[in-house]
Structures are given as C-alpha cells and as structure tokens.
Amino acid sequence: MKVILLQDVARIGRRFEMKVVPDGHALNMLIPKRLAEPATPENMRRLKERMKKVDEVRAGAASTFEDTLKKLEGTTVTLPVSANEQGHLFKSVKATDIAAQVTKEVGPLDADHIALHSPLKEVGEHEIAISSGDLKGTFTLSITKE
C-alpha cells in the first residue's frame, strides 16, 4: 500500500515521503497512530500544498538568518552574567542564552544555529560559530560580570 508519512518513521522514511509498505503494517500501525495516511489523489494534492508552504517558510528563515549573519560579522555581543571574583560563572551560558542576547542586540537567531561543544563557564571573550545549511560565520561573545 502506498502511504504518505506524516512523521519520521524508523526504518521506513522521513516526513512527507511517499513509501510503499505492506498493507497490514499500514492499516494496523501507521494509519491508526497517525504516522501515515493513504496516498490518495486528494492526499497527494494536500501534500504538495504543504510542501510548498514548508519551502516558503524555509526560504524566509534562510533569508532572515543571512541578514543576521551579515550584521553579526565582525561584531561583539556582550552578555552580562553573575560570576564570582575569580571569573567563574554561577550558571553556565548555553546556546539558548546566546541566541536570546543576539536576538535582543542584533536580530533573530535560533539556538539550533549556534555550535557550542559545551556550555561556557568563564568570563571573557569567546568565538561563537553559527551555521544554517551552507551559510556559516562567527562572532565574538563577550561574557562580562554583572
């Protein structure tokens, strides 16, 4: 039976893909759990409309990220946090904290675009890498004591 996947399904496929699966698997598991729907002409038309909307949203997000990336190049974003006398932070700085500060100072940035290997725990300047698709860049984050 041909089905359109509504979510990623292990060992079958990714969201919005059309796959051929055994009838029993489709009728007993995928369709009742709303993981897939039958690939009827009506559902195919709705899938094309959904994909068009998803592509528009992705294009808008890519242009927004590109604008933010251009503004961030060569700038320093300052993030005041509470720290002790030795410069150790009381709370580590995560990608979500950085994204919130960048959004406040420069422009919209999602935490998923920030590449941090581990949370930052020291006062000082840190090089932060950001990427989305094939667009990549870096900026300086200055963590200061409040």
Domain range annotation of the chain: 2-61, 67-145
Task: Quote the mean pLDDT of the chain.
Answer: 94
Question: Mean pLDDT, to the nearest integer, of 105-113?
Answer: 94
This prediction's pTM? 0.71
pLDDT one-digit tens code per residue, 19-32: 999 999 999 999 99
d(CA 130, CA 128): 7
Q: What's the topology of domain 67-145?
A: Ribosomal Protein L9; domain 2 (3.10.430)
d(CA 134, CA 115): 14
Sole residue written with tokens 């002790």: 84
pLDDT one-digit tens code per residue, 74-88: 899 999 999 999 999
Contact 23, 39 (CB under 8 A): no
| pLDDT of res. 133 | 85
Q: What's the topology of domain 2-61?
A: Ribosomal Protein L9; domain 1 (3.40.5)
Element (H or E) spanning 23, and its range?
helix 23-25
